[in-house]
A and B are shown apart, each in its own frame.
Chain A
Amino acid sequence: EAGVAQSPRYKIIEKRQSVAFWCNPISGHATLYWYQQILGQGPKLLIQFQNNGVVDDSQLPKDRFSAERLKGVDSTLKIQPAKLEDSAVYLCASSFLRGRTYEQYFGPGTRLTVT
C-alpha cells in the first residue's frame, strides 16, 4: 500500500513570494490534515478536511495561508505572501478507522526555507 505522498520535498523562496505544496493521501482515507512543524517544536495542526469539507482551520493564518481539497482526494496548501517565520516542515497526514480509533499516517513532509 502506498503511503502519503508530498511534493516538493524541499523549497527555498524569498519572503513575500508565494509557494504551494501538494499532498496525495492514502487511497480511501477520508480525513486529511496539514501540520506545520517549526524546528524544535512538535507539529501543529493547520487544517483538517473530511472528504472535501473543512473540519478545523482554527489555527490557519487565513490572511496568507489557504488550502483546498478538491474532489476529496488530493490537497494543496498555499502560502502567499511568505514570511520568514513560515520556515518549517509542512506535514500532510491522512487517517482511517482501525478498530475503534483513527490512525493518522504521515507523509515525509516539505521543508520550506524562507530567506
Chain B
Amino acid sequence: AQSVTQPDIHITVSEGASLELRCNYSYGATPYLFWYVQSPGQGLQLLLKYFSGDTLVQGIKGFEAEFKRSQSSFNLRKPSVHWSDAAEYFCALSAGTASKLTFGTGTRLQVTL
C-alpha cells in the first residue's frame, strides 16, 4: 500500500523567511511525487512534480523540492515567503503516470507580516 505523511499540520513563518514543508512517503518503488497548493475556496494547483532524473525540481511561484530516496522524503522549500503564499499545501504520490493520486493530510501555512 502507498501512503504519504505530512508531519506538520500547521506552520507559521514571517514574510521574507525561508520555508520548508516536510513530506515522507511509503511505496515499494520509485513513485511519481507532487506538491499541490490549495487556497481557500479554490481547487488544487500543481506546484511541481518529480518522476525521475534530477532530484531537485523547480516549480512555479519560486518553489522547489528535493527527492531523497534514502529518506523517502520529498520536502518543499522556498527561500523567501510572501504573504500570498499562505494556503494549504498537499504532497501526493502516484504509482504510475495516469494513476490516482494519494495525498497527505496537508500542511496549513500561515504567513505573518
Contact = CB atoms under 8 A, between A and B. Distances in A.
Nearest to A108: B43
Contacts, number: 56
Interface stretch (A13-21, A40-48, A65-73, A76-84): A40-48
> Looking at chain A's contact residues, is the secondary structure mostly helix, strand, loop, or mixed?
strand
A45 B43 contact: no
A42 B51 contact: no
Contact of B105 (A41, A50, A108): A41
A107 interface: yes
Query: Which bucket holds chain B's interface residue count?
Result: 20 to 34
B26 to A, nearest CB: 14
A44 B52 CA distance: 25
Interface residues of A, number: 28
28 contacts: A31-B98, A35-B101, A40-B105, A41-B105, A41-B106, A42-B4, A42-B103, A42-B104, A42-B106, A43-B44, A43-B90, A43-B101, A44-B103, A45-B101, A48-B100, A91-B44, A95-B98, A100-B51, A100-B97, A101-B32, A101-B97, A102-B97, A104-B101, A106-B36, A106-B43, A106-B44, A106-B45, A108-B41
